[in-house]
């Protein structure tokens, strides 16, 4: 079994693969204060619930956009699973060309999503990740990442509204019945959901125009992808497991290279 770990700013996602099949996935909150022992014991407990033993894990791979946790998660893998994980970054073979000003600035999660999306859906392609930030990856017909856009995330936008105002409450992010809210809760929900739907629709439309490729497929992933996909016509596929599948692809790619 192979353990894939995606360390995000809000959550850490775990996926266990047996061959090419994802058999278990779960997530925990990202916490910079937690130690490798705390993450490790929590992981072992979750494994026990799913009937997985630490010795079942033969390898691991980590993608992280939270550098302070890189050592913690790596140390957890070696200490609790007895495996040295691959880490997405410099030195790891991805087979994905980055045609941007500085490839070092591209987040590991964006690379992983691209790898999975290209393999499953082909190119050209736009990949949207509704995470802590909302990222748009543009992949040309040569399967190269040529840039994109980064917008605030829906949850972060909500947090900003609540912390920056005296009377606005925190509400569940869900689609209201109308864009015309009748109370504070539905006003906030309408602004967030339909506002982000408009943002997505415009950026996708503008991207296709600049690329002169109206046929570009659009894949969405991340926590709020399903909510927004129901409000726009430009999203062709919702794939919540894109990042974990991308990590497994990169693990297999690099292990096969090691054997040559």
154 CB neighbour count, 10 Å cutoff: 22
* Cα–Cα distance measured from residue 24 to residue 50, given in angstroms and rounded to the nearest whole number: 7
- Residues at the annotated binding site? 6-13, 107-110, 129, 132, 184
Q: Which residue matches tokens 């490839």?
A: 103
Task: State how far the alpha carbon of 130 is from the alpha carbons of 14, 36, 109, 137, in Å.
Answer: 18, 28, 12, 12
The pair of three-digit structure tokens given for residue 124, joined into one six-digit string: 């050209």
> 182-215 burial by CB neighbour count: b if 16+ within 10 A, else e?
eeebbbbbbbbbbebbebbbebbeebbeebebee
The pair of three-digit structure tokens given for residue 149, joined into one six-digit string: 């856009």
- Residues at the annotated binding site for substrate? 107-110, 184
Active site residue 102: no
Question: Out of 31, 45, 101, 109, which one is annotated catalytic?
Answer: 109
Report residue 60: phi and psi, to 5°.
Answer: -150, 155
Q: Which residue matches tokens 């609540």?
A: 162
- Residues at the annotated binding site for ATP? 6-13, 132
* Cα–Cα distance measured from residue 9 to residue 131, given in angstroms and rounded to the nearest whole number: 9
Catalytic residues: 109
């Amino acid at each position: 079994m192979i353990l894939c770990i995606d360390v995000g700013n809000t959550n850490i996602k775990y996926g266990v693969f047996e061959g090419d099949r994802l058999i278990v996935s779960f997530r925990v909150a990202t916490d910079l204060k937690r130690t490798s022992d705390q993450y490790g014991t929590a992981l072992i407990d979750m494994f026990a619930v799913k009937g997985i033993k630490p010795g079942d894990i033969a390898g691991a791979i980590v993608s992280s956009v939270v550098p302070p946790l890189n050592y913690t998660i790596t140390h957890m893998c070696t200490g609790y699973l007895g495996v040295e994980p691959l880490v997405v970054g410099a030195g790891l073979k991805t087979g994905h060309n980055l045609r941007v000003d500085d490839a070092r600035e591209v987040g590991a999660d964006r690379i992983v999503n691209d790898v999975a999306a290209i393999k499953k859906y082909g190119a050209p392609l736009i990949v949207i990740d509704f995470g802590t930030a909302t990222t748009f990856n543009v992949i040309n017909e040569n399967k190269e990442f040529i840039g994109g856009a980064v917008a605030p995330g829906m949850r972060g936008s909500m947090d900003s509204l609540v912390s920056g105002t005296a009377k606005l409450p925190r509400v569940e992010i869900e689609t209201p019945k109308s864009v015309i809210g009748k109370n504070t809760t539905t006003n906030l929900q309408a602004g967030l959901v339909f506002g982000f739907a408009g943002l997505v629709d415009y950026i996708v439309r503008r991207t296709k125009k600049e690329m002169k490729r109206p046929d570009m497929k659009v894949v969405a992933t991340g926590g709020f992808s399903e909510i927004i996909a129901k409000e726009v016509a430009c999203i062709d596929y919702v794939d919540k497991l894109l990042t974990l599948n991308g990590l497994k692809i990169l693990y297999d790619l690099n292990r096969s290279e090691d054997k040559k």
